[in-house]
Every structure is written in structure tokens, then in C-alpha cells.
Structure 1
Amino acid sequence: NDAGVAVIHVGAHEFMCIGAKPPFDHPHVFLDMGSDNEIVCPYCSTLFKYDPSLKGSASNPPECEYHDDAKAA
């Protein structure tokens, strides 16, 4: 969430929040909405809302998706 948006729509009920991209990230926390359709990250206070039209790791806004580009040595 480098842009600092208040709400991110996600296509999964279980996912990891890292806050902003490294090195400005917070401790990586796994969030599980359970049967609810929204959850707030306890570190960065971002509100995540489930959107069934999004698939897999997709998010809205799309720039809030994180992809680990680190390559194994």
C-alpha cells in the first residue's frame, strides 16, 4: 500500500499484508477474514474488503498487489 489508500479490495479471504513495499514494510501479517467480507490490518490500519469479482491475488487498486521479485541465489 505504497499509495496509502484507505480501502483495498481483494479477491481472497486469506492473504498477507506487508504495508508498503520493502524497505518501508511493516511485520508481515497473515489476515483471515473468516466468514466476514472485510478486515483491518492491525499494523497499518488498511481496510481490506473481499470482492468476488477479483481472482486470486488480484486487488483494486491493482498497484496494491505485491509480487516478491527476489530471485533465489
Structure 2
Amino acid sequence: MHGEGTPKFTNDAGAVEIRIGVKEFECIGANPPFDHPHIFLDMGRGVESICPYCSTLYKFDATLKASEAVPASAFYHAKAHA
């Protein structure tokens, strides 16, 4: 799943944990230009993962879609270049 279609998540809100609907994803920390290196994380058989850059705790939630997160603001929508 790693690559262009990999969902990205951010934690601008400073949430204690973020629930997401995928186990393979990228954490970018904060929204650009304050992001950290975009790191690919894979929960494998587990249900949570901690980003080694920003220490955000991500928890898998099977009721969410790949493009959903709780809080909703954590799903990163890339801005289109003009």
C-alpha cells in the first residue's frame, strides 16, 4: 500500500490518540510547512502504532474508512498545485 495512494494523517490538534481505518499509512506530524518527514507506518497484526517523530498514537478502528479519522481533522488532504 506504500506509495502515492497511502493515506496520510496529521496531528495539528495535539490529540492524545487518533483513530484511523487503515493499518498502513503515513504520519506527517503537523500540516505543511510544519510537517516532519513523512514516515510510513505499518501496524501489522497489531492495532496501534506510535510515530517515532511526533509520538502520536494511532489506533486502528475497523468502523472507519481509509479516508476517515477521529478527530476528522487528522486526515490529511493534499492541496492541489496550480
TM-score bracket relative to the smaller structure: over 0.9
Structure 1 segments (4+ residues) deviating >2 Å: none
Q: Where does residue 38 of structure 1 map in the other structure?
A: 48
TM-score by length of structure 2 reads 0.84
State the distance in 1 between where 2:67 and 2:39 align.
16
Q: Pick one of 3, 13, 16 that aligns with 2:23.
A: 13
Structure 2: runs of 5+ lacking an equivalent? 1-10
What's the % identity of the aligned pairs? 58
If each structure's strand is expressed as a fraction of its own residues, which one has the higher value?
Answer: 1
TM-score by length of structure 1 reads 0.94
Q: Pick one of 66, 71, 75 that aligns with 1:61.
A: 71
The aligned length equals: 72
Structure 1: runs of 5+ lacking an equivalent? none
Secondary structure, aligned partner of 1:27 = coil
